[in-house]
Amino acid sequence: MEPPYLSGLNPQQKAAVTAPCGPILVIAGAGSGKTRTLSCRVAYLLDQGIPPDRVLLATFTNKAAREMIDRVTKLVPVDASRIWGGTFHHIGHRLLRRHSERLRIDPHFTIIDREDAEHLLAECCQELGYSRKEGRFIPKAAVLLELFSLSIGTRRTLETVLAERLPEALLVQKEIGEIWEAYRNKKRASRLLDYDDLLWFAFELLRNDSFLREHYQEKFLHILVDEYQDTNRLQSDLVDLLAQRHRNLMVVGDDAQSIYSWRGAEARNILSFPQRYPDAFRISIEVNYRSAPAILELANRAIEQNIRQFPKRLRPAPFAPKGMQPLLVVAHDPTEQAAFVGWQLSKLAEQGIPWHEMAVLYRAHFHSLEVQMELVRLGIDFEVTSGLRFFEQAHIKDIAAFLRLVVNPKDEVAFRRVATLMPGIGPKTAARLWLEVSRGKDLGQIVPPASALPTWTTWYSLHQELLNLVHRPDAQVKLIVERFYDSYARLSYPDAESRLEDVKELANFAKGFKHTEEMLAELSLLTNLEAPRKGEDKSLVRLSTIHQAKGLEWRIVFVIMLCEGLFPAARSLTIPHGEEEERRLFYVAITRAKEGLFLVYPRFRPEVERGKLKPSRFLEELSSKLLETRQAKDFWTGS
């Protein structure tokens, strides 16, 4: 008689759960019950007499591991808490706590988080005198930490990572290398490890210590990895190393949802699994328990254009919602696109669909600007999970500070904000310099610290030009970016490209105003809107990038700004396999929807040459039989 936990599985899930020993590749399509399948596999192994402490379960959040182990505990009468379960970092931490002395690491080490790591790295820069070097800036600590992390996670040289992610930093490659060495030495002297150290040292421990390597290879009879498509090279190599003895390695994931290459994840880890394990048992789980049949047909059509993939076809569950026909909505411009989204959300709410069951998804945060403004105008509460509301972001407030000083030279807050963007000027120095301004000195008469002098001179010259452009706020924004903010952002933020895209969108927003003062007034009104208080019971529409939306689902989904150069993003098309990852992102967006899906794009955008936009190539790849096309204006005119 089969165990009860097997009886509720579909044939594909059951085949994965009861697969024979050896390497196993489970391709789990979107909404296919992946977590349930993995939990049942663990229960099945324990049911077969495998001791819990000889099972290793690697997940991407400790919460996911706890939930799976809790499920297992309810399925079989075994103490599942003895399973080695958790994130890769958690597993690395356990290994190092037990054996750190073999790497000459103090066993009483402390783990520092990202913020503390940035502070420590900034101290190293300061101690080495690398806040400025021969007129060239060293990237800020947050950017350096991102570059170091990528080098470790992808197992590539720092030079390779710099060339790919921040080529301008190759000019100071020697200095960056010295900073990294100083950072490592400072951590060791202070008995500190950061998150990357937990993985790297665990890997080094097993790779270089044959006794420990053989011990843990023997210990773990079965290794299971969740979300395998999101692993980086180091994580994949660590798993392969541990699995060498018994080769009972089950990896579960979906190559069609591999969308995090920008943070080091490598789709080839899952795609090359059959080559690394030629005898692997492979099974695809394709029954989708989330979406309506019409949405799944659209998703299947969207992803089939990719060449590098495991073919699969999502199929609806017998009780799948009937749903509505997916719609392709063509708007005149981003403003009309936003008007459509707001209008349709209101109508759906009137029909009884809760606000929190609806979401607006987009490729990049700046795509949501007009939608945010429209929802504010309509009084529709929304939650932005792709970051702060557009006008509340630090980089937008930085640009606004430059402009505020143009219209109000007595604006102390704006002065201090801009001044602290200069190298060598902190809050105390900015306060001292403001005293000189408040006593009547012009920006050009102030003498800042020597390290800030060249940038201060640039600011003064820029400020004079901005004074002559108060009737062209869009030109002002562009000039600030050109003369100052482009280089500042690239050396200050790991996600500089995304932030600069936001600033370009701000310039587009500024075109609607005849004077800088008018624009700033509107900015202030949009920034100071009352947001729902934490813990307040409000039903909110979700606005999110698709990257942030992975793993979530809603009854109704709008995917906006589906235009060439925006989605797919132009820069993604310039890197190897970039188009395929963008198409996977489109697939993830589609498969978030349960009942209704609206794909929307505008035909015109003022800042584009000749104003005309082309629909995304991903839309053109879809069959017209799967989509009903309508004009946005027809919805409220009743056409």
**Which pLDDT score is estimated for 533?**
39
Q: Are residues 390 and 360 in contact, defined by beta-carbon separation less than 8 angstroms? A: no
**Which pLDDT score is estimated for 600?**
97
> Which two structure tokens, joined as six digits, stand for 195?
């998150």
Question: Of 314, 311, 125, 154, which is closest to residue 231 (Cα–Cα)?
Answer: 154
How far is it, in rounded angstroms, from Cα 352 to Cα 568?
34
The count of other CB atoms within 10 Å of the CB of residue 384 is 21
- Residues 6 or more apart whose CB falls under 8 angstroms from that of 287 comprise 10, 12, 13, 32, 33, 314, 315, 316, 317
Q: Which residue has the tokens 């967006």?
A: 589
Side by side, the strands of the sheet bearing 358-362 are: 382-384, 541-545, 358-362, 554-559, 593-602, 327-331, 628-631
* 193 CA to centre of own chain: 24
Q: What would the pLDDT profile of 167-221 be if each residue is shown by its tens digit?
A: 888 888 999 999 999 999 988 888 888 889 999 999 999 999 999 999 999 999 9
The count of other CB atoms within 10 Å of the CB of residue 612 is 10
For the ranges 114-123, 201-210, 421-430, 495-504, the one whose mean pLDDT is highest: 201-210
For residue 608, pLDDT beyond 60: no
* 438 CA to centre of own chain: 43
Q: Are residues 408 and 414 in contact, defined by beta-carbon separation less than 8 angstroms? A: yes
Q: Are residues 627 and 294 in contact, defined by beta-carbon separation less than 8 angstroms? A: no
How far is it, in rounded angstroms, from Cα 34 to Cα 31?
8
CA 601 vs CA 75, 184, 582, 612: distances in Å = 47, 48, 16, 12
**Which pLDDT score is estimated for 7?**
87
Positions at the binding site for ATP: 28-35
Q: Which residue has the tokens 């297992």?
A: 72
How far is it, in rounded angstroms, from Cα 639 to Cα 627?
18
Give the residue numbers annotated as catalytic, written as ranges: 34-35, 226-227, 257, 592
The mean pLDDT of 440-459, rounded to a whole number, is: 84
The mean pLDDT of 595-620, rounded to a whole number, is: 86
**Amino acid at site 106:** D
How far is it, in rounded angstroms, from Cα 116 to Cα 83?
31
Q: What would the pLDDT profile of 218-259 be if each residue is shown by its tens digit?
A: 999 999 999 999 999 999 999 999 999 999 999 999 999 999
> Which two structure tokens, joined as six digits, stand for 110?
């402390």
How far is it, in rounded angstroms, from Cα 389 to Cα 532?
12
pLDDT band of residue 425 (cuts 50, 70, 90) is confident
The count of other CB atoms within 10 Å of the CB of residue 375 is 21
Provide the mean pLDDT of the chain.
88
**Which pLDDT score is estimated for 527?**
59
**Which pLDDT score is estimated for 638?**
62
Positions at the binding site: 28-35
Q: Is 594 helix (H, G, I), strand (E, B) or coil?
A: strand
Q: Are residues 149 and 196 in contact, defined by beta-carbon separation less than 8 angstroms? A: yes
Cis? peptide before 532, omega within 30° of 0 = no
The alpha carbons of the chain give a radius of gyration, in whole angstroms, of 27
Partners of 331 in the β-ladder: 602
Q: Is 124 helix (H, G, I), strand (E, B) or coil?
A: helix
* 173 CA to centre of own chain: 27
Q: What is the pTM of this model?
A: 0.84
**Which pLDDT score is estimated for 535?**
40
Q: What would the pLDDT profile of 304-339 be if each residue is shown by its tens digit?
A: 999 999 989 999 998 877 888 999 999 999 999 999
Question: Of 540, 494, 592, which is closest to residue 389 (Cα–Cα)?
Answer: 540
Would you mind telling me the total number of residues written for the chain in this entry?
639
pLDDT band of residue 538 (cuts 50, 70, 90) is low
The mean pLDDT of 485-494, rounded to a whole number, is: 86
**Which pLDDT score is estimated for 597?**
97
For residues 537 and 27, the model is more confident at 27
Q: Which residue has the tokens 């990357």?
A: 196
**Amino acid at site 226:** D
Q: Is 257 helix (H, G, I), strand (E, B) or coil?
A: helix
For residues 413 and 467, the model is more confident at 467
CA 93 vs CA 82, 194, 232, 631: distances in Å = 16, 11, 18, 55
For residue 532, pLDDT beyond 60: no
Q: What would the pLDDT profile of 336-368 be if each residue is shown by its tens digit?
A: 999 999 999 999 999 999 999 999 999 988 898
* 209 CA to centre of own chain: 36
How deeply is 403 buried, as exposed, middle or buried, from its count of CB atoms within 10 A (0-12, 13-18, 19+)?
Answer: buried
The mean pLDDT of 84-99, rounded to a whole number, is: 89
**Which pLDDT score is estimated for 61?**
80
Cα first-last separation, the chain:
61
**Which pLDDT score is estimated for 134?**
42
